[in-house]
Amino acid sequence: MLARFLVFAGRLHHMHEFTPDVESLAQEILDYSLIRLKDNPPLDGPKSVEELYSLVGETITAAGLGGSKALSIFKEVLAPACISTDHPRYLAFIPSAPTEAANLFDLVVGASALYGGSWLEGAGAVFAENQALRWISDLAGLPETSGGVFVQGGTIGNLSALVTARNYARTLHHSVARWVVACSGQAHSSIQSAADVMDIEILKVPTDINGIMQGSQLQSSVDEYEKAHPNNKVFAVVATAGTTNLGIIDDLHGVADFAQSRGMWFHVDGAYGLAALCSPDVRPKFSGIEKADSFIVDPHKWLFAPFDACALIYREPLRAKRAHLQHAEYLDTLNDDGEWNPSDYAIQLTRRARGLPLWFSLATHGTDAYADAMNKTMAVARAAADLIKAHPRLELLVEPNLSIVAFTRPGWSPSEYQQWSDKLLADQVGFVTPSAHEGLPILRFAIVNPWTQISDIEAILDTL
Ligand SMILES: *Cc1c(COP(=O)(O)O)cnc(C)c1O
């Protein structure tokens, strides 16, 4: 019995005590982290399961590999099989470009066992996160009483906002057969995903020739739909402030005014684009955002924070709390005192204080630096558009609205686009993936990294 206890105590010692071995592992981990932060990131790229298995084998064993060995597997095999999303020529999807301060503070968050779900447990962290949320909310022009929470990503942010919206709509409208959310055909796939989860319908509103959902078109679509389906209710509209594909901003004013006139919830999906609110030069493009009932923006996209963080903000947070507060005997102690519990405002309970890296970077650098970095990325996007217009074999699709530059290579088939993209990565020149617009293949650069120079764009365009 005693012997068994000693073995057990020995293992506990091994895992949860800061021994000299752990001290040296800590040094190795910090050294690697600092190299990753200091040096230019490698682009790298994926490998197949078989290749990885042949290089790594079984890593989960009864006895353990030891930290140094596990770390070396990560450094030498696994990390190089991941594309560095902060590489200046990673221009596919929406890349990431965390500041050094934000990345460093992520280490602190990881080391600190912070619980970000309740004020009782995480008051200091929640206070700081809320100041960062306040900055975003003020940029959008929402009232002081607005508030929200950092959730995992835009998908959960949109879903949580729409769940709040429907919960509120249920207090206004009774005996509704099907709930419906309106959005344009350019809306992000996460809106469809939210509709599937919520078992609601989507009303696709046609856009104008520039891809913009206009208030007037929304009105005629909703009128027509509700006339044809008198038992269904369009309870919310999602406007996109910077579509993922092309960076298009819907007519926020027109949509807001119509939504307000019908008592519909006005949600703005700004996962990518609303980051540009931090640049005073760009803010007028988002005019109308101040009327939103809720909106999201992902700091892990264009606000220079690490994965994963979406700021979800409500005009009237109480409505979100009514929809999302979880009740359980053991939780009621948290709910009695009226404090701000971030868990109450979205689909989640336990949460990492994932807004802290953004907060720390904002506190460190000040908000002017954010405007400068934002303007830099947009200047590169405009210069890239000029290069494309001057390029003999390329056509610019639309003038960049924010920092997405979409273009075509007329004459290429979809498979030629894909082959070019594969080769670009294989040659470690850059990462740019084909997309499509109105059924035709396109290429797009999403420029969110202040390290992306026009020379990087030139290097990629030279291969086209
Ligand atoms: C990226 C994006 C989302 C989804 O955000 P995730 O953080 O990837 O879940 C939603 N809407 C828009 C417009 C986006 O660009």
Token pair of 242 as six digits: 């910077």
Centre of ligand 1 from the C-alpha of residue 154, in Å = 4
**Rounded to whole angstroms, how far apart are CA atoms 124 and 133?**
14
With a 6 A CB cut-off, is 298 part of the ligand 1 pocket? yes
**Rounded to whole angstroms, how far apart are CA atoms 349 and 241?**
28
Q: Are residues 247 and 351 in the same domain?
A: yes
Centre of ligand 1 from the C-alpha of residue 224, in Å = 29
Asked whether residue 179 is assigned to any structural domain, the reply reads yes
Centre of ligand 1 from the C-alpha of residue 449, in Å = 17
Asked whether residue 431 is assigned to any structural domain, the reply reads yes
**Which residue minimizes the CA distance to atom 2 of ligand 1?**
271
What's the pLDDT at 331?
Answer: 80
Q: Are residues 31 and 129 in the same domain?
A: no
Centre of ligand 1 from the C-alpha of residue 231, in Å = 31
Pairing of strands 440-446, 404-408: antiparallel
**Which residue minimizes the CA distance to atom 12 of ligand 1?**
271
Please list, in sequence order, all residues whose beta carbon lies within 8 angstroms of the beta carbon of residue 145, skipping any fewer than 6 positions away: 315, 316, 317
Alpha helices in 281-355 (DSSP H): 299-302, 317-324, 332-335
With a 6 A CB cut-off, is 267 part of the ligand 1 pocket? no
228, β-bridge pairs: none
With a 6 A CB cut-off, is 212 part of the ligand 1 pocket? no
Angle, nearest 10°, between helix axes 367-390 and 454-461?
30
Closest CA to 125 of 341, 313, 347: 341
Atom nearest to 308 CA in ligand 1: 7
CATH number at residue 164: 3.40.640.10
User: φ and ψ at 150, to 5 degrees?
Assistant: -85, 120
Q: Are residues 322 and 375 in the same domain?
A: no
Asked whether residue 11 is assigned to any structural domain, the reply reads no
Distances (CA, A) of 296 to 269, 273, 281: 5, 10, 20
Query: Which of the listed residues 159, 162, 188, 303 should we mutate to test ligand 1's pocket, taking the one with most ligand atoms within 8 A of CB?
Result: 188
Domain boundary, last residue among 365, 383, 412: 365
What's the pLDDT at 1?
Answer: 47
Asked whether residue 184 is assigned to any structural domain, the reply reads yes
What type of residue sits at position 358? L
With a 6 A CB cut-off, is 234 part of the ligand 1 pocket? no
Overall number of domains in the chain: 3
With a 6 A CB cut-off, is 152 part of the ligand 1 pocket? no
Please list, in sequence order, all residues whose beta carbon lies within 8 angstroms of the beta carbon of residue 162, skipping any fewer than 6 positions away: 181, 191, 194, 195, 198, 200, 236, 238, 267
234, β-bridge pairs: 180
- Its sign, for the CA torsion 256, 225, 269, 187, is negative
Q: Are residues 256 and 380 in the same domain?
A: no
Atom nearest to 154 CA in ligand 1: 5
Site of tokens 């009740």: 327
CATH number at residue 391: 3.90.1150.10
Range of the domain at 376: 368-461
What type of residue sits at position 449? N
Query: Which of the listed residues 158, 248, 249, 298 should we mutate to test ligand 1's pocket, taking the one with most ligand atoms within 8 A of CB?
Result: 298
pLDDT tens-place values along the chain, 464 residues long: 455 555 555 555 579 999 999 999 999 999 999 999 999 999 999 999 999 999 999 999 999 999 999 999 999 999 999 999 999 999 999 999 999 999 999 999 999 999 999 999 999 999 999 999 999 999 999 999 999 999 999 999 999 999 999 999 999 999 999 999 999 999 999 999 999 999 999 999 999 999 999 999 999 999 999 999 999 999 999 999 999 999 999 999 999 999 999 999 999 999 999 999 999 999 999 999 999 999 999 999 999 999 999 999 999 999 999 999 998 888 878 777 789 999 999 999 999 999 999 999 999 999 999 999 999 999 999 999 999 999 999 999 999 999 999 999 999 999 999 999 999 999 999 999 999 999 999 999 999 999 999 999 999 999 99
Identify each DSSP E strand in 331-399 by its residue range: 395-396
Asked whether residue 125 is assigned to any structural domain, the reply reads yes
Please list, in sequence order, all residues whose beta carbon lies within 8 angstroms of the beta carbon of residue 340, skipping any fewer than 6 positions away: 119, 126, 130, 147
Q: Are residues 79 and 144 in the same domain?
A: no
Domain boundary, last residue among 365, 390, 412: 365
Q: Are residues 33 and 179 in the same domain?
A: no
Identify each DSSP E strand in 187-255 by its residue range: 201-205, 233-240
**Rounded to whole angstroms, how far apart are CA atoms 131 and 136?**
9
**Rounded to whole angstroms, how far apart are CA atoms 309 and 348?**
13
Q: Are residues 338 and 214 in the same domain?
A: yes
Asked whether residue 7 is assigned to any structural domain, the reply reads no
Centre of ligand 1 from the C-alpha of residue 150, in Å = 14
Q: Are residues 419 and 408 in the same domain?
A: yes
Atom nearest to 153 CA in ligand 1: 7
Asked whether residue 444 is assigned to any structural domain, the reply reads yes
Q: Are residues 170 and 268 in the same domain?
A: yes
With a 6 A CB cut-off, is 272 part of the ligand 1 pocket? yes
326: exposed, middle or buried (C-beta count within 10 Å: 0-12, 13-18, 19+)?
middle
Cβ atoms < 10 Å from Cβ of 405 = 29
Centre of ligand 1 from the C-alpha of residue 365, in Å = 26
Centre of ligand 1 from the C-alpha of residue 360, in Å = 23
Q: Are residues 251 and 118 in the same domain?
A: yes
Q: What is the DSSP letter of 180?
A: E
**Rounded to whole angstroms, how far apart are CA atoms 132 and 356?**
8
* Span between the terminal Cα atoms of the chain, in Å: 72
**Which residue minimizes the CA distance to atom 5 of ligand 1?**
154
Per DSSP, the residues of 8-43 read HHHHHHHHHS--HHHHHHHHHHHHHHHHHHHSPPP-
Domain boundary, last residue among 365, 394, 427: 365
Asked whether residue 37 is assigned to any structural domain, the reply reads yes
Pairing of strands 310-314, 294-297: antiparallel
Q: Are residues 273 and 382 in the same domain?
A: no
Per DSSP, the residues of 407-440 read EE-TT--HHHHHHHHHHHHHTTS-B--EEEETTE
Q: Are residues 66 and 147 in the same domain?
A: no
With a 6 A CB cut-off, is 359 part of the ligand 1 pocket? no
Residue 201 in 3-state DSSP?
strand
With a 6 A CB cut-off, is 299 part of the ligand 1 pocket? no
